Structures are given as structure tokens and as C-alpha cells.
Structure 1
Amino acid sequence: MTPKVVVLDSGSGNLRSAQRALERVGADVTVTADTTAAVEADGLVVPGVGAFAACMAGLDGIGAREAIAERLAAQRPLLGICVGMQVLFDAGVEHGVETKGLGVLPGRVEPLHAPVLPHMGWNTVTPPEGSTLFAGMDADTRFYFVHSYAVHDTDGLVTWAEHGERFVAAVERGLVSATQFHPEKSGDAGATLLEHWLRTL
């Protein structure tokens, strides 16, 4: 059976490339701001680019906070990508201003301390034992990152990366999966990760 996936359109994120990448690995994808569809789909993808506060404002503008809570209460999985991952945490701090996140994952998004920002380009990651997303991937597999903020500590199965300092590159915690990098821009490695996620739906 083809999994039905909603890519949530809150006005932030690379929606079409996420759609194409998921279709490439066999999902039936709808891009929509309809929160009922977002609650009921087999899988929900929350993309996001740009500023944490702007992404949260877009999500709150379409009622996504309630929809995501309802979805998780109904035991349905979701995948956050880039700023769509960051907003799943408790809070984000940008330019000294703290914005409340969705609070689905414990932790705070704070500036990344590195000689060059943003962290832009390909980087390797270190997944934990038992990871579903990264199962069977080589240690030198690279993913595509674009960000200046990161989470430095959280719970769950945490995949790490380094740019100036260690930060959370991905997390798997119950029904929630999230990646700081862009799987939809990460070629075959990203496609494999999305395929692994689809198998959990």
C-alpha cells in the first residue's frame, strides 16, 4: 500500500523539493495547509527554512500546533526537516530573542558556535546504535546542511554532527523523527533516509 504523506504548507520551506523527494521513494504526497489532512495522513512532514520565529508564526497561523498534538496523540508519525525540526523543540533563541516552540522534543535551539556561519554544505553524521533512519549507511555518508542555529542536547536516539562544535543532526524519539539537514537535497543518501522513514508509517 502506498503511504499517504502530507507536506505541511505553513508558508516556510522547500515544499516542492520535499514533495519530489518523497514521491521518488514511493509516497503519495499532498502539499497542503489543511490541518485535518495533516492529522489524518499516514505520515506528516514539517519543513521549514529561515527564522525560527517566522516559521512558528506560520505554523500557529494555520493551527498546526493543535494538529501536531492531535496527530501524536493518535499515534501517527511525523518528520521535521531543518527549521521544521527546530520548531519541534521547547524554544528557539535568535538574536537574543526567545520564541516558544512546539515542545514536542526537549531542548533549545541556540546559535551554533563555529568560525564560519552558516554551516552550509555537505557533512558526515554519527548515528546511534539502533537508528532506523540511518540503518545500513556508511560512516562517510554525507548530508546537505544549511543553518546557523542548532540543538546541543536532547533525548531519544540522537545523531550528531560537527561544525565548530558538536550539534544534533537528527533525532528519533517515538513517533517523531527530525533532521537538521535537508534529506530532499542530499541525493541518494537523503532518498535512502526518506525511504527508511516511509517504512515506519
Structure 2
Amino acid sequence: MEVAIIKYNSGNVLSVLYALERLGVQAKLTDDPEEIKKADKVIFPGQGEASSAMKYLREKKLDLLIKDLDQPFFGICLGQQLLCSHSEENDTSCLGIFPIQVKKFPPLDKVPHVGWNNLENINSPLLAEVTEEDYVYYVHSYYAELHPEYTIASTHYLEDFSALLHKDNYYAMQAHPEKSSLAGQKILTNFLKL
């Protein structure tokens, strides 16, 4: 199985590569459109700032490529947010796969959201063997709003938000599965089985 991890100058790439290695998968970090197109699975991780990430994607024409892919695709953290239509972070137009707004948590002393939270309202094969008692690890100040059709799990932190999204071949998760112990390992394994 060929797994491509999209390189777009965002953080958090090595931890995803190592998590996949622990599952016996050697993924390729690339921004080459041909390598991404021929991969069996594509992972779009990220930590960073929305507008600079989108700028890099547009410069490399990866924004157009991502919208054209038909293999299973998994956005993680910033990767989830960039799959939405718009982010309040520097008023950024994003990829628009999900017709969802990305909002900033209220400006309280509890932002960013860092730590472990459980998933609620689980509804997807991506979450097979994951329960509402399992916890996943978050680090974020922005969140994707809930959507009646595309939200497949939610989390509550100051607001209820989309913990995971799914539309067609696109899946996305706000938390970091690669840092989420056994629950995260199950989610990555389930994605690789899609």
C-alpha cells in the first residue's frame, strides 16, 4: 500500500510518519502531484497557521489537486480546518470540501485547547472499536463548527465542535491520532483499511 503525506510546510509531519511506521506502513512525504495522485491513501496533517498554509498549497497548485482526489483522504488538525470553506484565522478562504466555518474559541484563559477529551456522537466506520470512553489528544485554538450531515463525531470544549468529519472520500479529524495512544492507533488503522 502506498501512503502519501502531503508536504506543505506545516508542522507535525514526523510524528505522523512515526505513527504509521509503528503500524508497519512506510509513508512518503511529498508535494509532488504525481506521487500524491498515485498513492492508495493520502494524509494531510498539520500544525500551523491557516493563511500561510493555504498560500503554499496554492503556489504548488496542491489546492486544486486535493479537490480532485478520489482515494481515501485524511486531514488532521490544521489539515481538517483547511478542508473547510473558511477560517477565522487571518480571514482565510480554505479548500471548501466541507461547507463549514472554522471559528476561534472564545478569548478566554482556556485557549488554546490542549489536552485529552473524549469523542461523542460517534458515527462512522473510521471509528470502529473507538468508544465514547476513549480519549484523544487536542492542541488547537480554532475549531470546525458542527454540521448535520458531515460531522461524524463531536467534542465539547467551551463549544461543541466537529471532532471528525466525513464527506465522500474525505475524512478529517481535529485531534492528533498519532498522539492519541490506542484510540488514535485504532483510527489510523481503520483509515488504512478503508
Shorter chain as normaliser: what TM range? over 0.9
Aligned to 2:79: 84
Separation in structure 1 between the aligned mates of residue 96 and residue 23 of structure 2, nearest angstrom: 30
Question: CA, structure 1 residues 117+25, in 2 after alignment: closer, same or farther (shift >3 Å)?
Answer: same
Q: How does 1:9-28 map onto structure 2 within 5 Å?
A: 9-28=7-26
* Structure 2 residue 91 is the aligned partner of structure 1 residue 98: yes
Give, in angstroms, the shift of residue 127 of structure 1.
3.8
Contact 1:182 1:190 in 2 (8 A): yes
Contact 1:49 1:55 in 2 (8 A): no
Give, in angstroms, the shift of residue 13 of structure 1.
2.4
Aligned to 1:177: 171
Give, in angstroms, the shift of residue 114 of structure 1.
6.8
User: Which of 156, 168, 181 is the equivalent residue of 1:187?
Assistant: 181
Separation in structure 2 between the aligned mates of residue 77 and residue 13 of structure 1, nearest angstrom: 22
Unaligned 5+ runs, structure 2: none
Separation in structure 2 between the aligned mates of residue 16 and residue 143 of structure 1, nearest angstrom: 19
Equivalenced residue count is 192
Separation in structure 2 between the aligned mates of residue 68 and residue 38 of structure 1, nearest angstrom: 9
**One-letter code aligned to 2:122:** P
* Structure 2 residue 137 is the aligned partner of structure 1 residue 139: no
Give, in angstroms, the shift of residue 39 of structure 1.
1.5
User: Could you state the TM-score of these two structures normalised by the residue count of structure 2?
Assistant: 0.93
Q: How does 1:1-201 map onto structure 2 within 5 Å?
A: 3-71=1-69, 75-94=70-89, 97-113=90-106, 115=108, 116-129=110-123, 131-154=124-147, 155-200=149-194
Question: CA, structure 1 residues 123+170, in 2 after alignment: closer, same or farther (shift >3 Å)?
Answer: same
Q: Percent identity?
A: 31
After superposition, the CA RMSD in angstroms is 1.4
User: Could you state the TM-score of these two structures normalised by the residue count of structure 1?
Assistant: 0.90
Separation in structure 1 between the aligned mates of residue 118 and residue 76 of structure 2, nearest angstrom: 17
Contact 1:42 1:76 in 2 (8 A): yes
Contact 1:39 1:68 in 2 (8 A): no
**One-letter code aligned to 1:85:** Q
Give, in angstroms, the shift of residue 78 of structure 1.
0.5
